[in-house]
Structure formats: structure tokens, C-alpha cells
Amino acid sequence: MNPDRLIDAIHAAGITPAEPLPQIADGRVRRFSTAEDKPRARSGWIQIFDNLDGSRGAKYGDHRQGITGTWFSGRPHRELTAADRREYAEKMAADRRRLAEAEQLRHRQAAEKAAALRKQARPAPPEHQYLLRKQVQPHGLRLFAGTLVVTIRDIDGNLTSLQFISPDGTKRFLSGGRIAGCYHSIGQPPAPGEPLLIAEGWATAATLHEATGLNCACAFSAGNLRPVAEALRGKYPQCKIIICADADPVGLAAAQAAAEAVGGQWIAPDFDTEEKTL
């Protein structure tokens, strides 16, 4: 496998790695930092497979931008036998089972750790530096070692992970936690026919709730807007879903796609001198 061809494909997809990419063809998902990431963030991911016939394939993506892609090295100049194809199919099936089991274990362990950490945390005070800067109330957030703790739950209310927000606004997630399709909710559950707002960041969601009194879900990233919108559409089929976009190209495109997927609406912020991203 020529690693340069894979890296070229990742760059062409709009992902710029900020560190050397792992080139291990064992089917494991490995994370990496991108040029657009904040410090300590690792939005990029890559998964490389050995096809047992001299070729390799890869999946890759960027959680922050909602980008995914695939790559194939090309087969060598030899015909696959029936035994080769059978061995390859069996290996891929075994890899999928192994990866699914490993992911389930990571998610289960992270959920248990999230519950333990939340239990240790205390209610967040309104005078926390981040809350003061964003001019919002805690809305049930907790505090652990000076850092705000945001709970992340699935559609059934099960705790799946945590987001930590430092006083300076640095954000990170609990390692191994399930995020896709999960969210943080602010406000009372919506009544049938009532609008339900979905935003990317927690501070944006809190600001929207305080301004409207409506329930607002925080999806945590542009790439998670659609999975969260689809999950909430299933839970609240009679609600009017409104996706509240971040003021950047990735956020605007993701908001529009999410709204179209659930028959909802999307709106974009209109700022003059205020900061564009909460």
C-alpha cells in the first residue's frame, strides 16, 4: 500500500491531518487531530483493512465537519480463487463482529465511568467563568475539578457520555463514550405541535432556551445534527423541529441537511458585531 495515495485521498476529501496518520491495517478505528481542531481535540478518524489479497481498503472521516470517505489501494495483478474470496469474506465478517463487540464494550465502560463522575460532581455555580462569558445560567450542569460537566444521553434517557468545558471554553469528551445520535436537552419536553430547537453547542442551546423558553437539544457537532434530529423526530413526531445553525459553512450545510432529513426547518444566525459562534 502506498500511504501517500491514502493521504492524498484524505486531503482531497477536505480533511487536513495535523499529525502523522496511523497506517496499521487491523480494522481498528484510530483518531487523529486535524488542522482545524482546537487543542487536544481529535476529530479525525481512520480505519484500515487488509483484504488478504495484497490490497488494502480504508474508511476515514472528520466528526467535526461531518465528512466521511473510503479508499481502495487496487488489487494486484492476479485472479482471486474461490478459496481466496471465501477467506476474505470470512475475515471481513469476523472483523465486523470484533469491531462491534469492542465498540460496545468501550461504550459500556464509558457510560459507567460517566455515571461515576457525574455522581462525584456538584451543581455548577452561575458565576463559573464560562457561564459568565456566555451570559447564561447553568441549567443543571455540574462541576468537577473546576470544569463544567455536560451530560450526554440517548433517546431513551440513558447516560452515554460527558462533555467537559473548561473555564476558558476548551471542550473535550469522555473517551470511548457514544455520541452519535445522543444529545443534551435543556428545558421541558415539548408538547405536540410545539417547536423543538436543535443546536450544535451547549451555550448556543442555553441561549436559545433562555430567549424562547422552548426545549433545545445540544448535538455537540455539525455532524451529529442529523442523527439527533432523526432520533428526536422519532420520539416527538408531532413537533416542529428547527435546526439552529452555527455561522460557518460546515454548520450551515449540516443544519440544512438535518432539517431536510426530518421535514423540519433551519435558521442561520445574523450577527453584526457579536461573536458568531457560541
Residue-wise pLDDT for 171-222, tens only, equals 999 988 999 999 999 999 999 999 999 999 999 999 999 999 999 999 999 8
Beta bridge partners of 62: 44, 67
Element (H, E) at 12: helix 3-12
Q: pLDDT value at position 277?
A: 42
Element (H, E) at 53: none
Alpha carbons 189 and 196: distance in angstroms, whole number: 9
Which range has highest mean pLDDT (46-55, 92-101, 258-267)? Answer: 258-267
In tens, the pLDDT along 143-153 reads 999 999 999 99
How crowded is residue 238: how many other Cβ atoms within 10 Å of its Cβ? 9
Residue, of 80 and 37, whose pLDDT is higher: 37
| Closest to 268 in 3D by CA, of 181, 217, 276 | 276
Q: pLDDT value at position 49?
A: 86
Residue that is written with C-alpha cell 483518531 in the block: 31
Q: Which three cell numbers stand for residue 36?
A: 482545524
> How is the chain split into domains, by residue range?
3-78, 187-278
Alpha carbons 230 and 262: distance in angstroms, whole number: 6
- Arch. (CATH architecture) of 187-278: 3-Layer(aba) Sandwich (3.40)
